[in-house]
C-alpha cells in the first residue's frame, strides 16, 4: 500500500507540505516525488486515500480523474485528488487559498485595476479568483507575451495606475533572494502587493512594498490555506479555520 495521504510532484525536497498537513489534521502525510513515467503507474494503481499535486503535474493528472469540480475545470488545473471508492475526484484549493489571503488581509479588488505578474500554472487559480471578484481591469504580464498578456514594457507604458499587484512568478524565491520582478516606484496608485513566494518571508518586492507604506503579503498564508481546504476534502469534514493562522505562524518561524 502506498502512502495514504501525500504530495505528488517532481522535486519536493524543499516542500513544507508534510509539516503543514500534519499540523492541520491527524494523519501522516508523505512527500511522493515521481517521474512522469512513475506518475502513470501511481495514478492508475489508485493505492491512496487522497493526494495533493504540485509542479509539474497539476494538468497531467487530469486524464486519470473520474470527475472534477467546476472550479478545477474552469482553472484547468488540479491540486487535490480524493479517492472515493476507486473513483478519483479532482479539486483546486489554490483558489480557496488565494481567496482566503485576500479576505484575511482585507484586500478588496472589486472594481480595481489588478496587475498579475506571470501566466503559468501558479497564476491560473489567482486569475480565476480575481475574475470572480469583478475586478475593473485585469492586466497579465509575462516575459512571453500573447493574447491577453502584455510585456513588462507595456506594463510600464500603460498600467502604472494599477491598484493591486500580484506576483505569481518565482522571481525573488530562495536562494535568488536579491531578485525582484519589477521596481514599484512608478506605480503611484498601488495599495497592496501580494507575492505568492513564501521563502524568504520578505522578498525584495515585498520589502519595497512595505517601505512605500503598502499592504505587503507573502504566499505562506495561501500555501497553508490551500492545504487546510485540501484537508477538508481529504477527510470530508469541516476543520477550524483558526488552524490556518496557527500553522502559518509555526512555519513562518522556521523560515526566519
Q: Is the dihedral of CA 250, 71, 79, 203 positive or negative?
A: negative
- The predicted-structure confidence for 138-164, as pLDDT tens digits, reads as follows 999 999 888 999 999 999 999 999 999
Q: Which three cell numbers stand for residue 98?
A: 488565494
**Residue 250 DSSP class:** H
Q: What is the pLDDT of residue 55?
A: 86
Q: Which residue has the cell 506518475?
A: 39
All residue ranges of the chain with pLDDT < 50 are 1
* 129 vs 114: CA distance, rounded Å: 12
Inter-residue contact 129 to 108 (CB < 8 Å): no
* 179 vs 160: CA distance, rounded Å: 20
Q: What is the pLDDT of residue 121?
A: 80
Q: What is the pLDDT of residue 1?
A: 40
| Catalytically annotated residue among 41, 58, 136, 242 | 58
Neighbours of 147 (CB within 10 A): 4
- What residues does 102 pair with on adjacent strands? none
* 144 vs 218: CA distance, rounded Å: 24
Active-site residue flag, 243? no
Q: Which three cell numbers stand for residue 169?
A: 512568478
Inter-residue contact 95 to 107 (CB < 8 Å): no
Amino acid at each position: 500500500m502506498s502512502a495514504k495521504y501525500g504530495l505528488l510532484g517532481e522535486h519536493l525536497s524543499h516542500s513544507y507540505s508534510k509539516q503543514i498537513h500534519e499540523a492541520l489534521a491527524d494523519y501522516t502525510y508523505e512527500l511522493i516525488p515521481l517521474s512522469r513515467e512513475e506518475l502513470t503507474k501511481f495514478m492508475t494503481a489508485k493505492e491512496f486515500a487522497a493526494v495533493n499535486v504540485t509542479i509539474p503535474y497539476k494538468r497531467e493528472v487530469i486524464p486519470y480523474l473520474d470527475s472534477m469540480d467546476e472550479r478545477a475545470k474552469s482553472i484547468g488545473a488540479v491540486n487535490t485528488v480524493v479517492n472515493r471508492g476507486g473513483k478519483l475526484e479532482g479539486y483546486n484549493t489554490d483558489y480557496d487559498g488565494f481567496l482566503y489571503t485576500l479576505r484575511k488581509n482585507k484586500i478588496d479588488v472589486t472594481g480595481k485595476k489588478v496587475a498579475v505578474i506571470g501566466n503559468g500554472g501558479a497564476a491560473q487559480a489567482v486569475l480565476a479568483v480575481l475574475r470572480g471578484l469583478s475586478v475593473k481591469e485585469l492586466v497579465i504580464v509575462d516575459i512571453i507575451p500573447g493574447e491577453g498578456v502584455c510585456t513588462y514594457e507595456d506594463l510600464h507604458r500603460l498600467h502604472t495606475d494599477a491598484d493591486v499587484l500580484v506576483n505569481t512568478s518565482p522571481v525573488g524565491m530562495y536562494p535568488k533572494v536579491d531578485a525582484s520582478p519589477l521596481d514599484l516606484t512608478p506605480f503611484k496608485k498601488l495599495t497592496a502587493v501580494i507575492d505568492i513566494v513564501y521563502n524568504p518571508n520578505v522578498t525584495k518586492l515585498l520589502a519595497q512594498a512595505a517601505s512605500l507604506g503598502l499592504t505587503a503579503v507573502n504566499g505562506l498564508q495561501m500555501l497553508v490555506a490551500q492545504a487546510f481546504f485540501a484537508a477538508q476534502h481529504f477527510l470530508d469534514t469541516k476543520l477550524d479555520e483558526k488552524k490556518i493562522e496557527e500553522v502559518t505562524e509555526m512555519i513562518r518561524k522556521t523560515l526566519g
